[in-house]
Structures are given as structure tokens and as C-alpha cells.
Amino acid sequence: MAKSTLSFVCQNCGAAYNRWQGKCESCGEWNTLAEEDASGSVPVSIRSKRKGRTFALESLAGKSPDAPRLSSGMTELDRVTGGGFVRGSVLLVGGDPGIGKSTLLTQATSLLARAGHRVVYISGEEAVAQVRLRAERLGLSDAPVQLAAETSVEDIVSTLSEGAVPRLIVIDSIQTMWTDTVESAPGTVTQVRASAQALIRFAKKTGAAIILVGHVTKDGQIAGPRVVEHMVDAVMSFEGEGSQQFRILRAVKNRFGPTDEIGVFEMTGLGLREVTNPSELFLSERDLGTPGTAVFAGIEGTRPVLVELQALVAPTSLGTPRRAVVGWDPSRLSMVLAVLEAHCGVKLSGHDVYLNVAGGLRINEPAADLAAAAALVSSLVNAQLPTDAVYFGEISLSGVVRPVAQTPARLKEAAKLGFQRAVLPESARGDAGGDAGLSLNAVNSLTTLVAEIAARGSRRGESSAPAEKNATPARFRRGEG
């Protein structure tokens, strides 16, 4: 009998060590090492003793049929997956507790079951009665979804192998599954990896699509070994703030579709409602006539999205001013503030700066630099920006406004929602086209935009001397405001 060898595995990143230590050197987390058996994940009694078989090799030339897709019946979910679930694919869905993962999957499975497909929902965290209560609350209790409360992977595979192959299987969640092939507690790195591998093997063999629900850590990463994200075909993140009714389904990895698409949902008393026009929803409660607000025309995947950026610049009483940002990259905000001080003479070292993306959406593209800078300067000088204008453009470290991609789509979305003008990079004027119907205000440098906003504040009586269009206002250089 082989001697048992113990190792200490980090439950956050999966790194293995020969002895216990308080801090994982790979990910930097404390108290995440757990003792596991590393002598061999599969016992000798169940190891395969047959010799390897030969298989046919094929060339790159030839035609392969397109992978058939199964539409979920939810337009936003199909948009993120790339048009539906591919036969034999495995998807990993992660999100904060209570964000609505189970609600989303309950609605999707109910729609597929009503369409005549065999759908199985296996819960390892809730009893069957609890899943039924959720379905009754959502008005989906009449959907022919097959339910089970089980955590043993071997029992699940054996049960699903009987009868017709299910078209969709939901495992909620992968952290609660366990397999007899490894000697570790459920939820450990070894168990999660082995359980996921067994379910993926079943999906590839039978052609059933499987959705694995995963927990997330405190920093938003899916808990368990990162190798699971490499094993599955798609990784989706369900995001949203608890105080907001909006939910964003974002594709992080997708072998069968785009990785930059998002699906927008609204949480209601009857479950998640699809939002076909997220721009109109994000701007529904917009603060008109308030300094420090600017509308950003962004792109999420192939969809243009208009969202409001809110900024507040206030004098500070602290030695180190605060810099708080929600929904945007904090390092990007620091860069914009540095460019404003270095090239535009806007002194912000004595002010607290707060920036918020309204609606709970998280912006990742650098095209929001121009809108953020406009909102910051507007709040500093207490100048109201035009309510019918949108802003987009990337700011370089030299203060030059650089062009961004898909300018016509941004302008078309703004014109559809009733906006009359757009502030964009000078070099993007040629790509704008003449069919958008907007008045274009092209700026070449950030200094030009700052001078225009300062002049607007001067006309409101905030300054005694008007600012020139292409010159930095003197009161910025003095640090007033």
C-alpha cells in the first residue's frame, strides 16, 4: 500500500507546500493553507488497469459542422453566451451572495423546460422545498423542471445517465460537490477540482450543457482553484450593488462567443426583468442642472451604453485628501487628476475627490477619461455642463485627447435618446459621419475643455474674469476654486 503523503494546499489559489505556513507566498492571503492528501487523488482500487487505446488523427483541412446552440429564451442571457448554450459546453457563473444567481438560473431553466427540453436543477445548498418556494414566488412552479438536492458527483452522474440526456444541467454550487476519488473535505481545492473534472467529462461525453455556480471571495474572484476557470468553456460574472436594482451579467471567458458582452437585468419582486435599452434605464433618474455630472457614451461589447458620471470635489480638512471612486478604475482616476494638475493648472491637492458611476455599472474602457475630467472640473468651479451633451475620449499623459473605437455607434445611441451635441476627440471627427444629427464639439487637448468649462462657470458669476478658450484660467493656477 502506498504511503500517504500530506501537503498543505492554499484554498484561495491552489498552491501546494510541504509544510504549513501562515501566509501563502503565491497569492499573499493569510490562513488559507489546509492539509490534504497528495499521495494520489485516485485510490488504487478504482484506478484503471487497462492499457491505452489508439485513436484516429485528423488533419486541419475539412469541414466541421457548427456547434448547435440552445436558446435560453432570455435575450440578455443569450447575448452574453454568444447566442445560446452550446451542446456539451460547461459554464461557470460566479457572483456575490444574494445577487440573484439562483433566481436567474431558475428563470432560464423554467423557460427551457416549458419549451419541451429536459432540464435538471441540482442544488447542493438548498432543499427541494426551498427551490420550490423560490419558483412559486417567481410564478414558475408549473414549469416541468426536474429538481434534486444532492452533493455526491458519482450519484449525480449515475442518475443523469439514465433515460434521455438532459439538454441543460444546473449545479448549485460546485463548492458543495464531493467525489469519492479524493480524500478531502467538500469545498477544498482538491474536491472542487476533481468534482468539476468529473462533471466536465460527463458533459463532453453526453453532449449536455452544464452550468456550474461558484462562490466568490471577498475581492470578487471565484473561490477555489483557478484551474477550474481554465477547464470550463465560459466564465460569467453576475455583478451588481445590493442597493441598486440593476444586475450586470458579464462574460469573462467564452470559447464560443465574445468576452466583452454584457446583459442587463432589473431585480423586481417577480424576479429578474430583462432590460433591452440599458441607456434609457441608467439615465432615468438623472440629475439635470447639477454641476459635476456628465453623460458618458460608452461601448460594452457590441452594445453602446450611455451612463451618467457623478463627481464631487470639495475642500478637505485632512492632511491627505481622499480619493474615492465607485464603478471606475481608481488608478485611472489618479491619472486624470495628475494630468489636470500638470497640464491644465487645476490644483486639486487640497480637495477631496469622489467619483461615481450611476446605476451600478462598472466601466472598464479608457474612453471615459474625458467625461470624468469634465465632471471633475464642473464640480470644482460649480459650472453646469450642457444637459444635452455626451462626452467620450481617452486622455494621454501629455493632455492630448486621443480617439476611441466605434464612434458612430456612440453618436447614434446618443441621438436616439435625444442628445443634441457630443464632445469628442478632434481626430475622431472624420469617423463620426454625418448621419448622427449631433452637433460635434471636437477638442484636441484637455486644456481646451477645461477652459470652456471654466468660462461657463465664470459666466455664472463664479469668477471675476472670463477665461480664454485655449488658455488655462488664472484661478486654477492659484489653486482657487
Name the residue among 255, 264, 261, 299 with its Cα closest to residue 80.
Answer: 261
Q: Helix, strand, or coil here: 88?
A: coil
Burial zone of 304 (CB within 10 Å; 0-12 exposed, 13-18 middle, 19+ buried): buried
Backbone torsions φ then ψ of 438, nearest 5 degrees:
-105, 150
Distance CA 101, CA 111 (A): 16
Q: Is 142 annotated as a binding residue?
A: no
Give Cβ neighbours of residue 372 (< 8 Å, ≥ 6 apart).
294, 296, 309, 311, 328, 332, 333, 336, 355
Helix/strand number for the chain, H first, E second? 13, 23
Q: Is 123 annotated as a binding residue?
A: no
Q: Is 116 annotated as a binding residue?
A: no
Q: Is 98 annotated as a binding residue?
A: yes
Burial zone of 158 (CB within 10 Å; 0-12 exposed, 13-18 middle, 19+ buried): exposed
Q: Is 102 annotated as a binding residue?
A: yes
H or E element, residue 253 = strand 246-254
Q: Is 101 annotated as a binding residue?
A: yes
Q: Is 99 annotated as a binding residue?
A: yes
Handedness of CA 298, 363, 397, 388 (dihedral sign): positive
Strand partners, 135: none
Asked if 14 contacts 226 with a C-beta cutoff of 8 angstroms, the reply is: yes
Q: Is 100 annotated as a binding residue?
A: yes
Distance CA 422, CA 437 (A): 10
H or E element, residue 239 = strand 234-239
Q: Which residues are annotated as a binding site?
A: 95-102
Q: Which residues are annotated as a binding site for ATP?
A: 95-102
